[in-house]
Structure formats: C-alpha cells, structure tokens
Chain A
Amino acid sequence: MSRVSFRLLALAATLSACGGDAGGDPSDAGTLAIEAGDGQSQLVGTALVPFQVKVTDVNGAPKAGVTVAWAVQLGGGSVTPSSSVTDATGIAEAVATLGLSSGAQHVRASAPGYAGSPVTFVSAGLPDAPATLELGGGDGQTGGFGAGLPQPLKVRVLDQYANGVPAVTVDWAIAAGGGALAAATSVTSATGEATMNLTLPNAPGSVTIEATVAALAGQKVSFTATAAGSFAVRAGGNNVPERYGSDLWVANGYAYTGTWGFRGQPGNAVKIWALSPSGAPSLVNTLTVANVGTISDIEVSPDGAWLVFTTEGGGGAGIYVYSLANKANPTFLASSPNSLHTGALATIGGKLYAFAAKNPSNPALVIYDLSAAASGTITPVGTYAIPPYYGIHDTFVRDGLAFVFAWDEGVFVLDVGDGRAGGSPANPVLVKQLGTPQAGGGGTPRFGGQTHNGWWYHSPTGEKKYLFLGEEGPGIVGSASSGDIHVVDISDLNNATEVATYHLNGAGAHNFWVDEQRQILYAAYYNGGVVALDISGTLSGNLAGRELGRLQPGGAGNTYVWGVMLYNGSLYVSDMISGFWQLETP
C-alpha cells in the first residue's frame, strides 16, 4: 500500500474514533487513548507489533486495573487476547494478526465510560508476491478496421491469496494477426490490474494478443480480437427506374451497368456513370442496343480501351465491343451474333479473348478472339459444348484455366493456355469436371445444387487453394432467392473437396468479387443484398462466423443485387430493382 493511501486510512480511523460512542461522562472516569502500534503495514497473514492503549484518570495520571476489550472490526485476521487489563502505567495491550486480504484492517479497543473510547488501530495488509496472472477483461471484442478496441485489454496479477499485486510489470505482445499495441508493457495498479490498448488491423481477421509477467514463468493470458466492419451507403441508388439492372464494371473513373428483362422498357441499355472524386456515381449517358432483351454481362478490357458486353434475347443478341476513347460516350467497333448469357475477358498469349456462355439451346462455351475488334472483326475461335442441362451461367478464367460453371453439370475446368493438357483458346481441353452431374446422372452435385458462378482465389501468400462457387437455387426474381456459397479445395483437381459453406436464410448467392489483398469475398445475394466474408486463413465448416457485414442497399422489398465490384475502396453494387450504388465496405 502506498504511503499516501495509508495516511488516508489512518485519518479515516481517527475520525471514526472521534465520532465513536464513549459512553458516560468522560470527566467521571478518565480517558482511553492509543499508546503504540497504530499504522503498521505488513504482509497479509503476519502478526503485528502489539497494540497498546493507555488509560488515564481525569487528572491525566495512569490508571491501573481498567479492562480494555479488543476486537477486529475490518479486514479479518485476529486479535488476542480479547480483553486485557491496564497495568500500573495505565497500559493494556493485545497482539493482532493480519487477515489474508490485503488493504486496511481495523482493530478496536474499548473501555466503556472513558473518554476517547473506543479507539481504532489501523493497519495495512500488504499483498504477497505475484503468484497468478489472470484475464481481467476485454477478450473477444470486435472493432472496425484500423480502429481501437472499444475496451482496453485487462489482466490481473494476484498473490497466493488472490490479492491484486500492484506495481508489477506486464509484458504484452501480438501473437497472431495484425494491428498494434499502445505499448509493450504496462504496470499493475493498486488493485493488481494492468491494461493495454489495441489498434485493430486494416484488414478483416482475428488478432491474438498475449500478456505475460516475467516473475510468473509459464503463465500467460491470451486475448482474441476481431477486425471487422459494416457496409454503409455512400451514394447512388434508385436511379434506373425504367429498367431492371444487371451486370456492372467500374474502371478509370467510370462505371457501366447493364439492364435486364422488361420493366416497361426492355433491358437493352448500358448505363454509363461518371464517378466523382469521392466515387459517387452520376448518370452521364445511356447506350441502347437494338433488338436485344438483356445486357447479360459487361466488362472493360484490361487496358481500359474497350467496353465489351454480351447480350441475349432478340435478333440482335451477341457480343459487342465498343471503343472507350471517350469513356462517357463509347463508340461501336464490332459485334458477333449469338445468344450469350455471360462473357469473361482474359488475355492469353498476348491476345484478348472473351469466354462466352452460349445458351440455349445447345449450350457451349464459345471463345472469341477480340484482337481485331478495332478493325471491326470478332472471331469465334474455339468452343466447348456441354450437356443441355440449363447450360453455362458464368466462366472464370485465370492462369490459363477456364472454370465453366454449368448449372446441373457442375464445373468444367478447361485448359485454355495453362499448358497442363495442351489446351488453348482455340482448342479448350477438359482437365476435370467437378461435381456430380444432376440431370444427366440423376444424382446430386457435391457442390450444392445449381452451379452458377465462381472465383478461383489467389491469397496474398500465393496460395491457390480455394474455388468459391455460387449456387443458384429456386427464386422469384425481385423478391426471393436461394442458394449458398460453397468453398471447394482444388489443391488437387482430381480430388476436389468441398470444405466450407455459407448460408443466408431466405436469400441466394449471385455474382462475387474478391478483395484478395484484404482477403474479403463480397457476394451479391439478391434479396439478401450484399455480404462480406472473411476468407483469410483456413476455411472449413460453416462460414457464418466469418460474416463481416451485410446490407440491403435499397432496403427490404427494394433490393435484389445482381453483382458487386470493388473499385478504389468502394464496393459498387448493381441492384436489379434499386439501381446502382456506391457502398462503404466493412
């Protein structure tokens, strides 16, 4: 106990004594006063130097033969004897032993009828040496990216009697995850508590912090904190009232969104949005295409020079390439007819190709060479037919592999330049079909029901282990949907195994975007809005605990998100009902 606090305790005891009930008239019998032993400090559980009181008569002369009663008033411990008689010098004494709880301990001496009686001896029990390090609080907190935790991390250092031990140095360290501690050490307070503040990392994930005390070898306290966030609307929304929205692409300060179906106007328009310095979209142009029913997929070429989109429904259906020399006013370059459900761009061998899903009625992956589009030519160079069980819905091309998401037929993994099977864009070669065909074989695909889309994830450490699959179950476009996210370990394509799933009640997955550096998967979830998942580390089982955020940008009943894309720190969302949005990411 510090000297200051001890003095306060002594003062309090004195005040208490002054206010006590002496009993009788002091002038009749004399006075009781502390003679010695007050204000001692010792380790808890030890005997103190004897307490002495002195009784004097009304003239101040020692008075012998007066019985003084002793009793513990506070803090435990004991005092013996329980009464003693003053000797010839007027002194009576007793021996007190401190209790096992640290802090103030009071022993009262009383002689009824004497002025000043009772008197209180105030002692301080000091904690023993550190024996235990324990969690004090702050574990399991979640905070925003780069933000401090709401509460500090706290430990307690205790002696063998569970008394907090002050002035002990606690060492802090981050054992796993990112973020930063306010200091490497902190010192325990009078109550034995030490605290530390943590700033969370800028990416989602868990942080493990450990606290240790040098004198307590082998003991440590671990904390877990989670960096997370939430979505928030920044701008946009409810801005395409005459059409239903479809796919999107954002590049070079502009965004391009497609339209779908029939909402009084057919889905034959590409909406062109200029992004403000803060990223807020404003509609600057509408490009319409004759005789098509839906702009099914849209993308800007990697060099930013071309806008490429696929269309379906109507005699004008096909793949279109427009020049983006004027980003707000694209000009037509070339097209090739076909009814195409989606198209994905990839550069292979220095040439730009589009991998398009031809549906219906004889579904096939059709690969277009776009290298001569500027001169008005789009050349179909390769094709890969699949069984007609609803056809192909999307394709993901990376590192020379094309993942063709083929509904009831699962996933076709094609070599289109990877080299492992001698394939090329002109000659795609099947490497592996993942999942058990449903319609053809009558079985149930291993990876959910109808395979719609996917993303082959390359982690920041270079791991290429996981394929995220979007399952599209039955739905009522605009109001209900179903289907989960399935995570498939494709480390060995011949033994691809589903390792994790994410399910959102009452809604189904659609298109993905993955922030690979921050290890976040953003999923369009139709009437469920958008969902962000932490995909860091090893993925297994139910990923519900990895949900970082979820938002229906248009609100309930006004949300049916088709696609998402991350650009300059914002998540851009194309909602079939409520239009084009800019969101703040978790």
Chain B
Amino acid sequence: MILAPGSRLLPFLLALAGPLAGQAGVTVHAGAQAIGAVIHADPVPGGGGLTEAKVSQPMLMVDAGALGGRLAFRGTLNLEGQTMRHGELLPGGWGEGYNDRRHPHTYAHELMLTGTDLLGRLDGGARVMVGVGKGFVPFGSDDPMTRPVFRYPVNHHLAQLLERAVVMAGVRAGPVALEGAVFNGDEPEHPGQWPRLARVGDSWAARLTVLPAAGVELAVSRASVKSPEHRPGAGSTAWKWHLSARAERPVLGGAGYAMVEWARTEEAWGFFVFRSLLGEAAWRRGPHQPYYRFERTDRPEDMRTLNLFRSVRPHLENSILGTTRFTLHTLGYAYERRLGGGSLAVSPFVEATVGTARAIDGGVLTPGILYGGTSIRAVAGGLRVAFGMRGHRMGRYGALLAPAAASHDHHPM
C-alpha cells in the first residue's frame, strides 16, 4: 500500500482506506486542500464594491486503486457548504451560478468508480474504460479548481458539466481517446442535494481527445443536457459544444501550461445562444508561478430575488432577462513553498482582474442596472494550503490519458 504523507493528518481517510490496505495491489492516496482568501470585487449586484474573506475550496480527496490500477475510486468531499453560507461562491465570480450563488458545490463533489483496461489483451492495443458514480461528465475542460487561476471563470457552466450521476464508457486507441456518458441533466441547488436518479439518462455527452504530442491535448465535446435549470425537468434542453487545446511542456527552464477553449451552449431550439472564448497560461520555475487568463463569455441573466446575488429558483418561466458579455483579464502570481518533506504545500497568491460587462441581445437586467456600471475590477489574495495530493485533474476519469493519468498529482504547475 502506498500512503501519501498528507493523509497521516486525516485519520478518517485512513479508516476509509483501511479495508483496502491489506489487499494486494490496493493503493490509496488521500489529501486535503483549502484556500483562505480575501476578495474585493467592484461592482457586485446592487452596485458598489464588496470585500469578503472566505475559505474556498475546502476539499478532502481520496484516490484508491485495486487490481493493478484497473479498478479505481475517486472521491472528493467539498465543504464549501460549511465555509460559505448556502454554499455560495465568491464575489467577483461573475459566471452563471456564481454571481447569483445559486449552483453551489455539493458536499459529494466526486464519487466515481471506474474500471480501466478491463479487457486486458482482448482488445488488442486499445484500452477500454467504464465508470459509474457522481462526478464530472466527459465534456469540456478540467474543473477550474485544478487550474492555476483562483477566480472562477464566467464560463464554468458552459465548459464543464459536473456533479451529475454518470454512467460512462471510454476507449483509447493510440493517441485517440473517446468517452461517452449518460447522466441526469439537473443542476444541484444546495450543497446537500443529490442528483435526481430518475433523470439519469435524460442527458448525454461525448468527448474526443487527441494527443498529438507529449503533454498536448486537443479535444472536442458535444452534449445534450435536458432541463439543467429546472430540476423537475420542465426546462429547455441545452445543446453544448466545446473545443479545447491544452499543453503542459517545459518552457524557458520552467514548467509551462497553456489552455485555450471555445464553448457554445444553445437553448430553446436556438432562441438562446451563449458563447465563450477563454485562454490561460502559467509558467512555474522554482517556487514562482505567474499566470494570466483572458476570457470573453456570455451569461444569461435571470430573475433576481430581493437578494440580488440570488435568482428565483426554480425559474417561473422560460425567459431570461438579458445576456451579459464579460470580457476579463486576470493576472496573478503564486509563490509555493513545500514543507514537511514536500507533503505540505503552501502557496500565497495575489491576482487582479479588470474587464467589462456589456449587455447584448437586449433585456432588462443590464450591467448598468444590476451593477451600476460596466467596468469591472477585482483583486484577491490568499493562501492555498494542500496536504498530500493536491487535487485531481477533475473532469477526467479512468486513466485514458496515460501517461499523464498515471500520475496522481495533476495540478497544473
């Protein structure tokens, strides 16, 4: 059994891993992460600036493997429901579900059981994977929590599908991997909510990934998500496209990371179309890690409650109140220190965002009305602390992208 040092601080995870520990070929990796941050965003709904101190992304994680790694379990417990009231996210996260704080992370962020290469040599050189559980749908790019920028991008719900009950399968042959899944379309509305199992199968997704060179991925995804915004299932279906290119390569004596993605979501038979273009890059040399993100993303505006951060849930109608296009530049710097023999990583960081929010396609809830202006400024500073495993590469299961998938420390940089 291999036990990551960080897990020594998490006895309950050890207890969880215990039953497996005595079996040959069983591996358990565990870890934890949390980010304490002070965030100032200007404007926020209602106008003016807001400064908050939050503990964001408090997570406990476990990866377990058996049968020589063919059978794997990935679990992530997200405790934002405890550290942020109602599971809300941070001011200045202007994306759908974050600005209005209506799609919090659930406690059971990932609970995925996968089997990879189950056919052994029967499938020749190909590797077949199947998976079931709660987690990310094979669509889009990695979860923002595992990427360099602290601030959530606006496009989170255009570029990822998460916290669903998923039944998935995948196959890799040479440099090409194809994944497909069926899942429930409904988004969670509070931290303790589980997917509606009765809706499993009402939505599907597929992702094709090509690895043309070491550390380089090209991916295209397609998904049909039934009624994501109306949990009982009466909402319109979202048809989604996502294209991305991602690279992790040595650059200038350091470790380079870059990703560019384009996403498009169409709802109500094309009545609504939301688009996103995002590019980000980071470079790490020693403890230093500067990073940058550009994003231009459309998000729908929904009916707000008296608390303008929140929208009426569930929707009463199939209308939106407008579309806001966010164009944002985020520049940041992190300094990472490894302590305790490398098991504890402490990363103070600071980052700033500037940009604009413009109303497109008309509508009554414009940035001028909701925020009192169209210019955006935000700064954040804090400390990321990680023990042991520093987070998965969320959104990828089943080690189809080996050799990168064989590693358990996929956090970029």
| Structural contact, A479 and B361, CB atoms closer than 8 A | yes
Q: Which A273-313 residues have a C-beta within 8 angstroms of B?
A: 291-293, 313
CA distance A360 to B362 in the complex (A): 27
Question: Could you tell me the distance in whole angstroms from the C-beta of B319 to the nearest C-beta in chain A?
Answer: 4
Q: Which of A341, A479, A557 contacts B316 (CB 8 A)?
A: A341
When distances are taken between beta carbons in the complex, the residues of chain A under 8 Å from B303 are 261, 313
In the complex the two chains form, what is the Cα distance from A486 to B266 in whole Å? 27
CB neighbors of A among B318-339 (8 A): 318-323
CB distance from A557 to the nearest CB of B (A): 8
B193 interface residue, CB < 8 Å from A? no
A389 to B314 CA separation, bound complex (whole angstroms): 10
CB-based contact A477/B306 at 8 Å: no
Which residue of chain A lies nearest to B45 when distances are taken between CB atoms in the complex?
Answer: A262
Residue in contact with A577 in the complex, picked from B322, B323, B364, CB distance below 8 Å: B364
Known A261-B321, A264-B369; judge A474-B364 contact (CB<8 A): no
Instruction: Please name the residue on chain B nearest to A482 by beta carbon.
Output: B271
Q: A576: CB under 8 A from chain B? A: yes
Is B271 touching A359 in the complex (CB atoms < 8 A)? no
Select the residue from A387, A388, A560 with max chain B CB neighbours within 10 A: A388
Q: Which residues of B contact A263 (CB under 8 A)?
A: 364, 369
Tell whether, in the assembled complex, residue A450 and residue B318 are in contact, meaning their CB atoms are under 8 Å apart. Answer: yes
Judged by a CB distance under 8 angstroms, whether B230 is at the interface is yes
Among the listed B230, B232, B308, B321, which residue makes an inter-chain contact with A477, where contact means beta carbons less than 8 Å apart? Answer: B321
A407 touches B (CB below 8 Å): yes
Question: Is A361 part of the binding interface, using a Cβ–Cβ cutoff of 8 Å?
Answer: yes
Q: Do the beta carbons of B364 and A390 come within 8 Å of each other?
A: no
Q: Which residues of B contact A408 (CB under 8 A)?
A: 234
Chain B residue nearest to A475 (CB atoms) is B319
B317 x A476 contact (CB < 8 A): no
Question: Cβ of A360: which chain B residues have Cβ within 8 Å of it?
Answer: 312-314, 316
Q: Mark A242-254, 1 if CB is under 8 A from B, else 0.
A: 0010000000000
Among B278-308, those with CB < 8 Å from A are: 303-306, 308
Determine whether the beta carbon of B322 is less than 8 Å from that of A474. no
Q: Which of A470-509 contact B (CB under 8 A)?
A: 472-482
Tell me the B221-243 residues at the A interface (CB within 8 Å).
227, 230, 232-234, 236
Q: Which residues in window 373-404 of A have CB below 8 A to B?
A: 387-391, 393
- Does A330 count as interface, using CB distance less than 8 angstroms? no
Residues of B with C-beta under 8 A to A359: 316
With A359-B316, A472-B317: A438-B234 Cβ-Cβ less than 8 Å = yes
Q: Is the CB of B306 within 8 A of A313?
A: yes
Query: Do the beta carbons of A478 and B306 come within 8 Å of each other?
Result: no
Which residue of B272, B308, B316, B321 is within 8 Å of A390 (Cβ)? Answer: B316
- Number of chain B residues close to chain A: CB under 8 A: 34
A266 touches B316 (CB 8 A): no
Q: Which residues of chain B have C-beta atoms less than 8 A from A387's C-beta?
A: 232
Q: A314 — which chain B residues lie within 8 A by C-beta? A: 305-306
Which residues from B are CB-within-8-Å of A477? 319-322, 363-365
Chain A residue contacts of B232, Cβ below 8 A: 387-389, 439
Cα–Cα, bound, A475→B305 (Å): 19
Task: Using A262-B369, A360-B314, A439-B234 as known contacts, say yes or no to A480 and B362 having CB atoms under 8 A apart.
Answer: yes
- Measured in the bound complex, the distance between the Cα atoms of B198 and A566 in whole Å is 48
Q: Kindly identify which residue among A293, A474, A480, A482 contacts B305, using a CB–CB cutoff of 8 Å.
A: A293
Contacting pair A478 B234 (CB below 8 A): no
- Which of these, A266, A292, A389, A478, contacts B322 with CB under 8 Å? A478
Please count how many residues in chain A sit with their CB below 8 Å of the partner chain's CB atoms.
42
Is the C-beta of B268 less than 8 angstroms from some C-beta in chain A?
yes
Q: Would you call B323 and A261 a contact (CB within 8 A)?
A: no
Shortest C-beta distance, A574 to chain B (Å), equals 14
Residues of A within 8 A of B321 (CB): 261, 476-478
Bound together, the chains give a CA A473 to CA B268 distance in angstroms of 9
Is there a chain A Cβ closer than 8 Å to B132's Cβ?
no
Give the docked Cα–Cα distance between A266 and B304 (Å): 10
Q: Does B200 contact A (CB under 8 A)?
A: no
Is B86 positioned at the interface, with any CB of A under 8 Å from its CB? no
* A contact residues around B126 at 8 Å (CB): none
Closest B-chain residue to A390, C-beta based? B234
Contacts of A244 in B (CB 8 A): 364
Other-chain contact of B234, A293, A341, A407 (Cβ < 8 Å): A407
Measured CB to CB, the closest approach of chain A to B412, in angstroms, equals 37
Let me know if B315 is at the binding interface, CB within 8 A. Answer: yes
* B320 contact from A266, A388, A473, A476, Cβ within 8 A: A476
Which residue from chain A places its CB closest to the CB of B314 in the assembled complex? A360
> CA of A291 to CA of B307 in the docked complex: distance in angstroms?
10
Q: Which residue of chain B has its CB nearest to the CB of A293? A: B306
User: Closest residue to B47 on the A side, CB-wise?
Assistant: A264
Closest A residue, CB atoms, query B370: A262
Of the candidates A389, A474, A480, the one having the most CB atoms from chain B within 10 angstroms of its own CB is A474
Report chain A residues within 8 Å CB of B271: 473-475, 480, 482
Q: A389-B234, A474-B268, A476-B361 are in contact. Are A313 and B312 (CB under 8 A)?
A: yes
Q: Complex formed: what's the CA distance from A58 to B306 in Å?
A: 118
Partner of A479, one of B227, B267, B363: B363
Q: Are B369 and A576 in contact (CB under 8 A)?
A: no
Residue interface mask A351-385, B partner, CB < 8 A = 1: 00000000111000000000000000000000000
Closest Cβ of chain B: how far from A164's Cβ, in Å?
60
The answer to whether A361 and B314 have CB atoms under 8 Å apart is yes
Q: Which residues of A contact B313 (CB under 8 A)?
A: 360-361
Report the separation of the CA atoms of residues A475 and B319 in the bound assembly, to the nearest whole angstrom.
Answer: 4
Residue contact A479 to B362, C-beta cutoff 8 Å: yes
Chain B residues, Cβ within 8 Å of A292 = 306
Give the most central of B230, B306, B363: most A CB within 10 Å: B306
**A477→B364 CA distance, assembly (Å):** 6
Interchain CA distance A266-B317 in the complex, whole Å: 19
Q: How far is the CA of A304 from the CA of B410 in the complex (A)?
A: 71
Which A residues from 431 to 445 make CB contacts under 8 A with B? Answer: 438-439
In the bound assembly, the distance between CA atoms of A472 and B234 in angstroms comes to 14
Tell whether, in the assembled complex, residue A476 and residue B318 are in contact, meaning their CB atoms are under 8 Å apart. Answer: no
Q: How far is the CA of A476 from the CA of B366 in the complex (A)?
A: 12
Q: Which of A361, A393, A577 has the most CB of B within 10 A?
A: A361
- Least CB distance, A516 to chain B, in whole angstroms: 29
Contact A478 B364 (CB under 8 A): yes
- Of residues A262, A264, A361, A473, which shows the largest number of chain B Cβ atoms within 10 Å of its Cβ? A262
* Chain B residue nearest in CB terms to A244: B364
With both beta carbons as reference points, the residue of chain B lying nearest to A437 in the complex is identified as B234
C-alpha gap A560/B227 in the complex (Å): 27
Min CB distance B236 to A, Å, is 7
**Contacts A264-B369, A313-B305; is A480 near B233 (CB within 8 Å)?**
no
Interface residues, chain A, with chain B CB atoms under 8 Å away: 244, 261-264, 266, 291-293, 313-315, 341, 359-361, 387-391, 393, 407-408, 438-439, 450, 472-482, 557, 560, 576-577
Please give me the 4 A-B residue pairs with the lowest Cβ-Cβ distance, nearest first. Answer: A479-B362, A439-B234, A478-B364, A389-B234
Report B's interface with A, CB cutoff 8 A. 227, 230, 232-234, 236, 267-268, 271-272, 303-306, 308, 312-323, 361-365, 369-370
- Told that A261-B304, A476-B272 touch, could you supply 12 new A-B pairs with CB distance under 8 A? A292-B306, A293-B305, A313-B312, A438-B234, A439-B227, A474-B268, A474-B318, A474-B319, A475-B319, A476-B323, A479-B361, A560-B364
Q: Provide a sorted-by-A list of 26 A–B residue pairs whose CB atoms are within 8 angstroms.
A: A244-B364, A261-B303, A261-B321, A261-B364, A263-B364, A291-B306, A293-B306, A359-B316, A361-B314, A388-B232, A389-B232, A389-B234, A439-B233, A450-B317, A472-B318, A473-B271, A474-B268, A476-B319, A476-B322, A476-B323, A476-B361, A477-B319, A478-B321, A479-B322, A479-B361, A480-B362
